Amino acid sequence: MKVRGNNNHKSMGGQVPEPTLRRLPGYLSYFKSLKINGIEHVSSSQIASTFNMDATLVTKDLSHTGIKGRTKIGYNVDKLIETIIVFLDFNTHENAFLFGVGNLGKALINYDGLKHYGLKIVAGFDVDPRVINTSVKDVKVYGVDDFRDLSRKIPARIGIITTPDGKAQETADYMVAWGIKAIWNFTPQSIKVPDNIVVENTSIYSDLAVILNKLNK
Amino acid sequence: MKVRGNNNHKSMGGQVPEPTLRRLPGYLSYFKSLKINGIEHVSSSQIASTFNMDATLVTKDLSHTGIKGRTKIGYNVDKLIETIIVFLDFNTHENAFLFGVGNLGKALINYDGLKHYGLKIVAGFDVDPRVINTSVKDVKVYGVDDFRDLSRKIPARIGIITTPDGKAQETADYMVAWGIKAIWNFTPQSIKVPDNIVVENTSIYSDLAVILNKLNK
DNA sequence: CAATAGTTGTTATTTTATTAACAATTCTTC
DNA sequence: GAAGAATTGTTAATAAAATAACAACTATTG
């Protein structure tokens, strides 16, 4: 007999597959649009057809979050939204520092979305005197040296790297020394950090490679 | 006996696994930095340690591009760079239209990198009269209606969606009607298009979900 | 010039992710 | 209220990707 246990907390053993984690935000966006349109229930086959995937996979993905559907009815949209938001920690406000306030950095700061997805960029850092002491939206930009004081006022566990290529490793080293626990690296450069630091590389070049490959096939 | 054949063209049967495609741009960036530092050869184990992965996987990834290494020496850095660029079609200039000239759209247009990775954004489109007829860098922004004339002057196969959420499907429909063959969707919304159209979704929320999950584990 | 160690590249194994099959449930219709 | 159809959710099978094992090769060293 298998123990199901309560699955309100993902701290329990059961690892969630990364592909599942990656799909959940897409589902969430879809469920929100359903809610706006006044739709109260949705079935796995509907979801699957929207995302061009297998219905069983949807079912499995959703089961990881602990949500229960009803036979012949499907899943409750409100419940889906609430459950996924909590499951992905999108209801928390995790502070983040952003290093490299160029075009991409500014775009991320201006990107309202992040706020509703658990991330709050609380300060920007740069080496360019022309951007230091300016503000992007309500986010102030500091020089690197101001970090010590700032980190005492506003603790942050996440660091975002949007510097030009070539400065990524240097920036990552700073961040780790500062006490940053997770690094979100938007440069194509690979960075080396201690094992206990979480690193996520977001490379639009990877996406581009996939597009060009499919297009020219 | 297995026929190896020449593998100068990926048009031949052998599908390249998507994970491999996604890793290649990262390798490329690393190889470029090696070249700058005057390093002429690199081994799969060095590469693997840089990216925190298994050396065999590196070897396999590189073998897909047709490059040959030398026992006890490794791979020639110049050759690696050249081969991967050609393999990923980063040496071509694929034209792209960008729809939704907001913060993210502007950042992408300003992002010099893309030009060196095979993609050239040739025009922006928007519905906001305040941005129509302006320029971002050397890229002009048009209203949607101007498309017909423009597409005759500058053909493009790739369409980039950086509109606000909720406009993604509508925009995708336009693009397909216009003759766009591949859509790069930066909104979290899923879009439905005919089977012959390539769609790549770039969702930073997926990356965020992975980061938060690892951080809170 | 033989032995050694570092290295590629292939084949086999294991792990992970996806798809298929099916049993259980329950709303709806006749 | 019985029959049928739609749906969940689990278990089994398949497919894909990553890792391990190993054979072949070649610079370097003694």
Same structural domain for residues A55 and A113? no
pLDDT tens digits for range B170-198: 999 999 999 999 999 999 999 999 999 99
With H, G, I as helix, E, B as strand and everything else as coil, classify residue B96.
strand
pLDDT at B14: 58
Residue nearest to nucleotide C27 (CA to C1'): A72
Q: Which positions of strand C lie within 7 Å of protein CB atoms?
A: 5-11, 16-21, 24-28
Q: For residue A166, what pLDDT band results from cuts at 50, 70 and 90?
A: confident
Tell me if chain B has a CB within 8 Å of the CB of A63: no
> CA of A74 vs C1' of C29, distance in Å?
20
A107 vs A11, which has greater pLDDT?
A: A107
User: A10 and B158 in contact by Cβ < 8 A?
Assistant: no
Same structural domain for residues B45 and B122? no
Is B5 within the bounds of a domain? Answer: no
User: B25 and A188 in contact by Cβ < 8 A?
Assistant: yes
Is A191 within the bounds of a domain? Answer: yes
Same structural domain for residues A158 and A203? yes
Give the sign of the dihedral formed by CA A197, CA A20, CA A62, CA B189.
positive
Q: Tell me which residues have their CB below 7 A from strand C.
A: A 17-20, 53-54, 56-57, 60, 70-73; B 2, 4, 43-45, 55-56, 59-60, 62-63, 67-75
pLDDT at A69: 96
pLDDT at B12: 41
Question: In chain B, whose CA is at the least distance from the CA of A31?
Answer: B189
**Among A56-60, A147-151, A157-161, B137-141, whose mean pLDDT is lowest?**
A147-151
pLDDT at B23 over 90: yes
pLDDT at A14: 57
User: A190 and B29 in contact by Cβ < 8 A?
Assistant: yes
Q: Which of B25, B89, B92 sits opposite A205 (nearest CB)?
A: B25
Is B159 within the bounds of a domain? Answer: yes
pLDDT at A9 over 90: no
pLDDT at A72: 95
**CATH number (domain holding residue A199):** 3.40.50.720
Question: In chain A, whose CA is at the least distance from the CA of B90?
Answer: A209
Distance from CA of B209 to the nearest CA of A (A): 6
pLDDT at A113 over 80: yes
Is A215 within the bounds of a domain? Answer: no
Question: Which tokens sit at A112?
Answer: 């309202």
Residue B119's H or E segment, with its range, is strand B119-126
Same structural domain for residues B102 and B198? yes
Cα dihedral A67, A71, A77, A83, rounded to 10, equals 0
Q: What is the mean pLDDT of residues A149-172?
A: 92
> CA of B82 vs C1' of C9, distance in Å?
21
Domain that holds residue A83: 18-87
Q: Are A175 and A136 in contact (CB under 8 A)?
A: no
> CA of B72 vs C1' of D27, distance in Å?
6
pLDDT tens digits for range B33-86: 999 999 999 999 999 999 999 999 999 999 999 999 999 999 999 999 999 999
- Which of A63, A87, A111 is where one domain is finished? A87
Is A147 within the bounds of a domain? Answer: yes
Same structural domain for residues B122 and B66? no
Same structural domain for residues B134 and B169? yes
- pLDDT > 90 in chain A, percent: 84
Q: For residue B206, what pLDDT band results from cuts at 50, 70 and 90?
A: very high
Q: Which of B51, B181, B207 sits opposite A200 (nearest CB)?
A: B207
DSSP string, B34-56: HHHTT--EE-HHHHHHHHTS-HH
Q: Are B164 and B100 in contact (CB under 8 A)?
A: yes
Q: For residue A18, what pLDDT band results from cuts at 50, 70 and 90?
A: very high
Same structural domain for residues B49 and B120? no
Same structural domain for residues A190 and A108? yes
Give the sign of the dihedral formed by CA A9, CA B207, CA A101, CA A180.
positive
Interface of A with B in 101-140 (CB under 8 A): 103-104, 106-107, 110-111, 113-114, 117-119
- Which of B87, B105, B132 is where one domain is finished? B87
**Which amino acid is located at A22 in the chain?**
R
Cα angle: A39, vertex A44, A46; to 5 degrees:
55
**CATH number (domain holding residue A39):** 1.10.10.10
Strand D–CB A1 distance below 7 A: no
**Among A42-46, B20-24, B112-116, whose mean pLDDT is lowest?**
B112-116
Is B174 within the bounds of a domain? Answer: yes
Tell me if chain A has a CB within 8 Å of the CB of B20: no
Residues 69-108 of A with CB under 7 A from strand D: 69-75
Q: How far apart are CA A124 and CA A134, in angstroms?
A: 10
Residues 17-36 of A with CB under 7 A from strand D: none
Q: What is the mean pLDDT of residues A134-151?
A: 92
Is B111 within the bounds of a domain? Answer: yes
pLDDT at A13: 43
Question: Which tokens sit at A15?
Answer: 């690892």
For testing contact with chain B, the best of A30, A119, A204 (most B CBs within 10 A): A204
Q: Provide the number of structural domains found in chain A.
A: 2
Mean pLDDT taken over chain A: 91
Is A9 within the bounds of a domain? Answer: no
Query: What radius of gyration, in Å, describes the C-alpha atoms of chain B?
Result: 20
User: A203 and B26 in contact by Cβ < 8 A?
Assistant: yes
Cα dihedral B69, B75, B77, B80, rounded to 10, equals 40
Same structural domain for residues B114 and B81? no
Q: How far apart are CA B131 and CA B124, in angstroms?
A: 10
Same structural domain for residues A113 and A202? yes
In SS3 terms, A83-152 reads as HHHHHCCCCCCEEEEEECCCHHHHHHHHCHHHHHHCEEEEEEEECCCCCCCCEECCEEEEEHHHHHHHHH
Q: How far apart are CA B29 and CA B104, in angstroms?
A: 23
Distance from CA of A134 to the nearest CA of B (A): 18
- Which of B48, B72, B87 is where one domain is finished? B87
Same structural domain for residues A77 and A103? no
pLDDT at A10 over 80: no
User: Could you tell me whether strands A135-136 and A182-185 are parallel, antiparallel, or unpaired per DSSP bridges?
Assistant: unpaired
Same structural domain for residues B43 and B60? yes
